[in-house]
Amino acid sequence: MKLGQIPEYLEGLNPEQLEAVCYEGNRLLILAGAGTGKTRVITTKIAHLVKQGKVLPESILAVTFTNKAANEMRERAMAIEPYCERAIIRTFHSFGAWFMRRNAKAFDLRSEFTIYDEDDSAELVHSIFPAFNKRDCGDFAFLIAKAKDYCLAPDSPNLDFISRNPEFRRIYSAYEDRLRSTGNVDFGDLILIPALLLEKDETIRNRTRQRFRVILVDEYQDSNIAQFRLLQQLAGSDTMLCVVGDDDQSIYRFRGAEVKNILNFPKVFPDTKIIRLERNYRSHQAILDLAHSIVIHNENRLGKNLLATRPGGNRPIIAFLDDQDQEVEFCAHTARQYVKGGGEWKDIAILYRTNAQSLGFERLFPQFDIPYRIVGAVRFYEREEIKDMLAFLAILANPRDEISFKRIVNKPSRGIGATSLDKIISFSLHNGADLIEASRQTIASIPRKGSEGLKEFLTLVEEAKTSFHKDMTVKENSGDLGSLISDFAQKSGLLEFYDNKDRISGSHKKENIDELVNAASDHPLSEEGLLEFLDDVMLDQSRQRNENNEDSVTLITMHNTKGLEFPIVIVTGLEQGLFPRNDEEGDDIEEQRRLFYVSVTRAKNQLYLTSCRWRRIHGKLFETMPSQFISEIDPSLYKLWADSRNKMRAASPQYHSPSMVAPSQSNISAKKSEWEPGMSVYHDEYGNGTVIKVTLSQSAGPLVIVKFETGKTAQFFPKYTKKLEKIKN
Catalytic residues: 38-39, 218-219, 249, 602
If phi > 0 it is left, if psi is from -120 to 50 it is alpha, else beta; for residue 256 that is left
Q: How many angstroms separate the most distant Cα atoms in the chain?
A: 93
Q: Give the DSSP H or E segment for 480.
A: none
Q: Give the DSSP H or E segment for 622.
A: strand 620-623
| Residue 39 CB neighbour total at 10 angstroms | 18
Q: Give the DSSP H or E segment for 89.
A: strand 88-91
- Among 418, 424, 461, 420, smallest CA distance to 439 is for 424
Q: How far is CA 399 from CA 396, 426, 454, 461, 462, in A?
A: 6, 15, 15, 10, 12
Q: What is the CA radius of gyration of the chain?
A: 29
> Any alpha helices (H) in 341-416, and if so which ranges?
358-364, 384-397, 402-408
Distance CA 696, CA 709 (A): 25
Which residues does residue 577 pair with via DSSP β-bridges, in sequence order?
Answer: none
Which residues does residue 198 pair with via DSSP β-bridges, in sequence order?
Answer: none
Distance CA 108, CA 225 (A): 24
| Residue 290 CB neighbour total at 10 angstroms | 23
- Among 289, 276, 268, 270, smallest CA distance to 245 is for 276
> Angle at Cα 61 formed by Cα 55 and Cα 63, nearest 5°?
150
> Any alpha helices (H) in 521-627, and if so which ranges?
527-545, 587-600
- Backbone φ and ψ of 502, nearest 5°: -60, -40
Q: How far is CA 60 from CA 47, 88, 219, 401, 719, in A?
A: 10, 6, 17, 61, 61
Q: How far apart are the first and last CA of the chain?
A: 85
Distance CA 272, CA 267 (A): 8
- Mutual angle of helices 189-200 and 134-149, in 10-degree steps: 40
> Angle at Cα 412 formed by Cα 410 and Cα 417, nearest 5°?
30
In the chain, count of helices (H) and strands (E)?
A: 27, 24
CA dihedral of residues 19, 25, 30, 36 (deg, nearest 10):
20
Residue count of the chain: 729
- Backbone φ and ψ of 53, nearest 5°: 70, 20
* String of DSSP letters for 413-445: --S--HHHHHHHHHHHHHHT--HHHHHHHHGGG
Q: Give the DSSP H or E segment for 229.
A: helix 225-234
If phi > 0 it is left, if psi is from -120 to 50 it is alpha, else beta; for residue 183 that is left
> Any alpha helices (H) in 250-323, and if so which ranges?
260-263, 265-268, 285-295
Q: Indicate the burial class of 72 (C-beta count within 10 angstroms; 0-12, 13-18, 19 or more).
A: middle
> Angle at Cα 341 formed by Cα 336 and Cα 343, nearest 5°?
75
**DSSP character at residue 260:** H
| Residue 542 CB neighbour total at 10 angstroms | 13
